[in-house]
Structure 1
């Protein structure tokens, strides 16, 4: 695969240590460095919480269905409010939108931890608190890519995204292992309190940023802004094709994996610490993939990410086949590499091909479509596994991922989309008006 390096993709790149050093240039930007620090802390807390939450709910209520319901409760408001969050990100200062979102997540996660620690196992209360966290995420996510464009020059966008992806990878590596240990030694619910503190740190860093990001568009009616974002989304085949792929992925692969993986770990591999090992392997793979992309610019990024998405079938397949824990961890490692490639190249593609003034709206449509059926996958994974078996549910997801990735790879719009010579889009193409 031909790659490019340097500003604007001049000349062939070779990777290695010099490329990594070039990729770290974004950290020399003070504003990005400030945001990166707070965001990295919150990512670590979230990685810990996602590992501990199923065990905390299971310890509190003893029901697999309750685990599915509480996990889905966070996704439902996220999906429902994503489009509103996208309009807010293009209509209001993005930093302020993200600051409000992190404040809400601090409060909701602290309350959830307190409820579980004090034995308040009322399912409706747990669902409500988890849902508030989803509300915060619905407003935070769409503004993220647009804020990054205000923190670094255009030539450093991919490197900034690679660093953010690497931070996610480090969090995925450290968070689950720490959560597994803390959950085993003390309590899974206490891990949620640590996550609340991490959101507080992130909100403090956002409050200290000297820029808001974006160009607020208060004069345009919100419904008109929604329509403009939809036109920009549907006019690009590569956008809606990848979105459809990940809609099915979250329904059939990732949702069941998040619910049934911890359950399988509890029944077959020894409990939270073994699941923490699997997720740490996922984080290690993501870390390796993120570092490999620093300073290296594939000319056709969507071709790379779509081919790599075949690896997402690996961990579910290993669990379905009842392979040893080491094999499951190896599958998670491969999936982590794929996640790093996607987490770096996908947002960079959006930033380079979508005008900044509608980036939050387009991002919200992508996220909405990708996550729309996620709550269904999370909610049905437990009950369906009780009826037909955990292995069968995971096997169907793994097989689907292989078929879907090959189908998307066959699209010319995916294989042919190359990096623009002039950097990020600066105006709305006629097809997107």
Structure 2
């Protein structure tokens, strides 16, 4: 994929140093270190908590599902409040509080696991507390970054954060598996708690935001955020696009992919390869985006979302592992382009005083249907067939990309 970009300034040749110039800003470097550490811990935590619940009395697959559901539901419930308080108190203050909460929750869980006294209901409660922290943290991420780098370097900053997320999504589970092999799941959760502590220290060193936004009632503030969100057709259309993608395509892929891999691709190791290449594709694409400032970034973002259809299409067509893995690599590349560019567009287009609330509505809309899609994928595939369900998702995604790009507010956004 070739992005049409502005040529670099003559005084700043387009070199590796130029691509990483965003790291010159000490505030962003500090935040990136904290966020990288936190994301690595998060990548480890899912594996650690899952194995802990499977091994404890009263645990099992059903208990793992309840723990995951408690965390996701807590995130969705708190997202809008996180957006309101981000705009009221500043992103740094809310994110710092959220990470302190996550540090406390994971620290308590680590103590319970390391002392072999944890019970399933305690893990569920602490998973919900962890989700509350995540829901409070998320809106601030979009709101904080524009205050750490100049506007011209926003795309690079978001690309670096996307690269970090991809790297930690690959490294985290692998490191967790090694720690469990030589120690136990409690150690993994303890490392996750420490990672949130590092993020707390990083955020504590950032300056407080200078806020001038007047405070109103909770529902008034939410209403203002909703008005800002719905008044931009390009924003609610692209959010709806991602929401339906998660429901129709990505949830079935995540549920059915491991099963199909077990049946005809070689099992868990093959599925691990597919997910690893997805992450590698995201890393490579994120690196390619550094130093670039594409025209019509929103159009490129939506077009790149078509890449998510590729691995599901390969599975639906019963292609061998090599093709599925290659499709996952390309999907990861598209994911980095989509996520990086749409985040940059939102940060540049939304006023700072409502950025937290608009980000919260965007995140809630994008992911609200995901849990339902995960729950329905198995039963529906039992009726229509796994390959058929994935094929329907592929057709939906490709059609939806064309429909979204047909909206003038999407197609013309950012034209130069």
Q: TM-score range by the shorter chain?
A: 0.7 to 0.9
- State how 1:215-234 maps to structure 2 within 5 Å: 215=211, 217=213, 219-234=215-230
| Residue 72 (1) aligns with residue 61 (2) | no
Aligned 8 A contact 2:258 2:267 in 1? yes
After superposition, residues 3-402 of structure 1 pair within 5 angstroms as 3-6=5-8, 18=14, 20-50=16-46, 57=53, 65-112=62-109, 118=116, 120=118, 122=120, 124-182=121-179, 190-209=187-206, 211-213=207-209, 215=211, 217=213, 219-265=215-261, 273-385=269-381, 390-402=386-398
> What's the CA shift for 1:196?
2.5
Q: 2-side partners of 1:293 and 1:354: how far apart?
A: 22
Structure 1 residue 101 displacement after superposition: 0.9
TM-superposed deviation, 1:88: 0.5
- CA RMSD across the alignment: 3.0
Instruction: Report deviation, 1:243.
Output: 0.6
CA distance in 2, matches of 1:260, 1:387: 13
Deviation at 1:200, TM superposition (A): 1.9
Q: 1:255 to 1:52 in 2, by over 3 A?
A: farther
Displacement of 1:219: 3.2
- Cα offsets for 1:85-140 (capped at 9, x unmatched): 11110000211110111122223334455666748563x44433222222111111
| Stretches of structure 1 lacking an aligned partner (at least 5 in a row) | 421-433
Q: Distance in 2 between matches of 1:158 and 1:104?
A: 30
Normalized against structure 2, the TM-score is what? Answer: 0.87
Distance across 2 between alignment mates of 1:58 and 1:188: 10
Change (3 A) 1:25 1:277: same
Deviation at 1:325, TM superposition (A): 3.4
Which ranges in structure 2 are unaligned for 5 or more consecutive residues?
none
Alpha-carbon distance in 2 for matches of 1:396, 1:76: 27
> Which segment is superposed worse, 67-76 or 159-168?
67-76
Range moving further from structure 2, 250-259 or 160-169:
250-259
- Tell me, yes or no, if the aligned pair for 1:177 and 1:277 is still in contact at 8 Å: no
Describe the superposition over 1:363-416 as per-residue Cα deviations: whole angstroms up to 9, x where unpaired: 111111111112212333345556665545444433322222222122222111
Q: Deviations over 1:132-183 (max 9, x none)?
A: 2221111111111221111112222111111111211222332243345545
**Structure 1 residues 19 and 213: CA distance shift in structure 2, 3 A:** farther
Cα-to-partner distance string for 1:217-269 (whole Å, 9 max, x where unaligned): 35333322211111111111110001101111222233333344445556655
| CA spacing shift, 1:286–1:217, aligned 2, 3 Å | same
Q: Which moved more, 1:157-166 or 1:44-53?
A: 44-53
Contact 1:70 1:127 in 2 (8 A): yes
Q: Secondary structure at 1:4's aligned position in 2?
A: coil
Alpha-carbon distance between aligned partners in 1 of 2:271 and 2:180, rounded to the nearest angstrom = 11
